Structure 1
Amino acid sequence: MSEITYRDAGLNLDTYEETLEGIRPLMLRTQDRTRVLDGFGGFASLFDLDPNRWLFNRKYRKPVLVTCTDGVGTKLKIATMMDRYETVGIDLVAMSVNDALCTGAEPLVFLDYLAMPKDDPTLTKRLMVGMSEGCMQAQCSLTGGETAILPDFYAPGDFDMAGFCVGVVDKDRIIDGKQIQVGDAVIGLESSGIHSNGYSLVRKLAFDIAKLGVHDRVPELSQTVGETLLTPTRIYVQAVHAILRNYPVKKRVVRGLAHITGGGLVDNVPRILPPGRRVFLKRGSWPIPPVFTWLQGIGNVPQAEMDRVFNMGIGFVMVVAPYFAESIIRQLAAEGVPAHLIGEVREGEPAVEWVS
């Protein structure tokens, strides 16, 4: 009987080592060496949570850890169809760090879980390019993760990604929406497009109903279908942190933060509203990206369905004291994030209501 090795079962440990060497520089470029203590290759990652570090110009007096996890979803199918994997890692980082940001937290570290049917150093590196870039944008350290090779679980060409973020916020400076008041202004920060939600409906509309391919050019989009659908999720960390530095939480200027993901504005904004507070949003108060109008037209999708599946051009929401709203919008623009006054808070049970 011939000898059987791990390679015969579908795993090559030498190829795995090649994968690690390929991603090492992409991880190290993101790391704050004064805080990440172990660098690369250990069993676990070490991060120095020094209470004397500064957060929004204040020391951590009562540091609270914030944890988030998310994935990219079926947007990965578009990446495979396009053979373009360098941007979905940005999406992976964005989905978690934008969630952590809703507490007022500073993202500290990011870890990934990558599952595929066989070792593929080239694909892994291409995916890590995006994760590294996303961490640079979020100013957090990519400290490690896991590459799982599952030859009998994933079909050839399939893979999945998940991401994990750990952040920190001072206990006295947590933003949880409890301070939201009647009359507060609702500011919408523009999305970069679809972001990473609703792609099962997107793929049905674009490929099954419209019968388009990823390389087909759509005049109203000014680019190919695939290019539009792979536009990375916007990361809001630096822009929102800039506002929080200018308006310390103790002044209660910024009262609520919401990441607009699956469920759209309709489901995500109420998550931060206290009892007796309802948000009224004004249609037409921000530009709708052409991709949403295009998708809606393909399948005659009801407006209510569009509002609940997609972000419709607003990827993040800030609820702020009304006196400061216009100034905050100008500051966000200076940070490279266009924003709009899209509504206000009134009395009522937590929900979103549309006004014309």
Structure 2
Amino acid sequence: MDYRSAGVDVAAGRAFVERIRTSVETTRRPEVIGGLGGFGGLCRLPAGMKRPLLVAGTDGVGTKLELAQAHGGHHGVGLDLVAMCVNDVITSGAEPLFFLDYIATGKLGPEAMAEVVEGIADGCRQSGCALLGGETAEMPGFYGAGRYDLAGFCVAVVEEEERIDGALVSVGDRIVAVASSGVHSNGFSLVRRILEAEAVDAATLLPATGQGLIEALLTPTLLYASLVQDLRRSGQPLHAMAHITGGGLPENLPRCLPAGVHAVVDPDSWERPPLFRWLQERGQVPEVDLWNTFNLGVGFCLVVPAEASPGIIDLCRSSGHQAWELGRIAAGASGEHPLAGLPH
């Protein structure tokens, strides 16, 4: 017996590393030391920082991978992986510094795995962080052939005195919503049940738009790092930020607020995208479950002073993001006041 006959092809693994080398190198930052292939990635802190704080986050893509692997959406879930980590760490005002990935698979499929890593590298370039390293593990017998799982790890850095922690949030502040690109990477256990019940396939269209339904669901998660950096460089006052992921607005928006205040959201301030309407109708999903599962078109929230809201919305739009005023901050502990106007 040998390792190859047991299901692990070491030579194919080495060829894979060589294939992805160029994509990884395109994400390099000046702080990175050395190159791909060491036992650990090395990275300096950016020069000139006085009291740098490191902000770390980790996440995966969840069962969206099931859909992606069935329909060849490998590049997109690479982007999703970066976005799910980066969009969390930037809520403190931090700049993404480097990213690491972990890919576990039953048998290394060079084309699919290369597409995943190229998607990860794409997400890193969009976020301005280095793809510092990663690990691809072949685990035959544990994962089926052609199956894989992903995990990502991001480290960002922020000057201590510039950290955004919600302490400046006050009654009367406005909540600015920044649009999502779709379902992003949450709620796919429910999505897949609806697709199975409706016998959806690659030819099924979303009636309201004519777009392929699978294509719409596999749209990658938007990355908001460059937008946050643009807002900070412009001197715009940001009191708090929230990444709207699993649990939707009811769970994630309160996480960025201090004690003694709560968010009042206007559900009529935007039109719910057709994809979410289709999921609700075909799945007969109760309204309360819809709000607590999906982002419903809101991918990121900014809590800002009332007088700054119009300018911040304009800057978001000029950066290519749809944005609007979603609500306001009111007095009263969030636990005592569920998001006004929303089912609970």
Shorter chain as normaliser: what TM range? Answer: over 0.9
How far apart, CA to CA, are the structure 2 residues paired with 1:189 and 1:286?
Answer: 11
Q: Which residue of 1 aligns with 2:214?
A: 226
Q: Which residue of 2 aligns with 1:181?
A: 170
Shift of 1:254: 0.9
How far apart, CA to CA, are the structure 1 residues paired with 2:195 and 2:209?
Answer: 13
From 46, 58, 72, give the equivalent of 1:50. 46
Q: Which residue of 2 aligns with 1:263?
A: 247
Q: Which residue of 2 aligns with 1:22?
A: 19
2:236 is the counterpart of 1:239: no
2:339 is the counterpart of 1:350: no
Q: Verify the 8 A CA contact 2:90 2:96 in the aligned structure 1.
A: yes
Q: Verify the 8 A CA contact 1:221 1:228 in the aligned structure 2.
A: no
Q: Which residue of 2 aligns with 1:309?
A: 293
Describe the superposition over 1:214-268 as per-residue Cα deviations: whole angstroms up to 9, x where unpaired: 33223224211210111000000111111111226xxxx2110000000000000
How far apart, CA to CA, are the structure 2 residues paired with 1:18 and 1:119?
Answer: 11
From 296, 299, 316, give the equivalent of 1:332. 316
Q: Verify the 8 A CA contact 1:94 1:233 in the aligned structure 2.
A: yes
Q: Aligned partner of 1:318: which letter?
A: L
Q: Which residue of 2 aligns with 1:88?
A: 77
Instruction: Using structure 1 for the length normalisation, give the TM-score.
Output: 0.93
Aligned pairs for 1:1-356 within 5 A: 4-32=1-29, 34-52=30-48, 60-207=49-196, 209-247=197-235, 253-351=237-335, 352-355=338-341
Secondary structure of the 2:4 match is helix
Shift of 1:51: 3.4
How far apart, CA to CA, are the structure 2 residues paired with 1:311 and 1:148?
Answer: 32
How far apart, CA to CA, are the structure 1 residues paired with 2:330 and 2:124?
Answer: 37
Shift of 1:11: 1.0
Secondary structure of the 2:58 match is strand
Moved over 2 A (4+): none
Q: Aligned partner of 1:120: which letter?
A: G
Q: Verify the 8 A CA contact 2:104 2:137 in the aligned structure 1.
A: yes
Describe the superposition over 1:259-296 as per-residue Cα deviations: whole angstroms up to 9, x where unpaired: 00000000001111111101000011022111000100
Q: Verify the 8 A CA contact 2:169 2:257 in the aligned structure 1.
A: yes
Describe the superposition over 1:113-156 as per-residue Cα deviations: whole angstroms up to 9, x where unpaired: 00001122222101112111111111111111000110121122
Secondary structure of the 1:7 match is coil
Shift of 1:185: 0.4
Q: Aligned partner of 1:353: which letter?
A: L
Q: Verify the 8 A CA contact 1:51 1:61 in the aligned structure 2.
A: no
Q: Aligned partner of 2:80: which letter?
A: D
Q: Aligned partner of 2:35: which letter?
A: G
Instruction: Using structure 2 for the length normalisation, give the TM-score.
Output: 0.96
CA RMSD in angstroms comes to: 1.3
Aligned length: 340
Tell me: CA distance 1:50–1:244, structure 2 relative to 1, closer, same or farther (3 Å). closer
Q: Verify the 8 A CA contact 1:64 1:171 in the aligned structure 2.
A: yes
Q: Which residue of 2 aligns with 1:57?
A: none
Q: Aligned partner of 1:22: which letter?
A: R
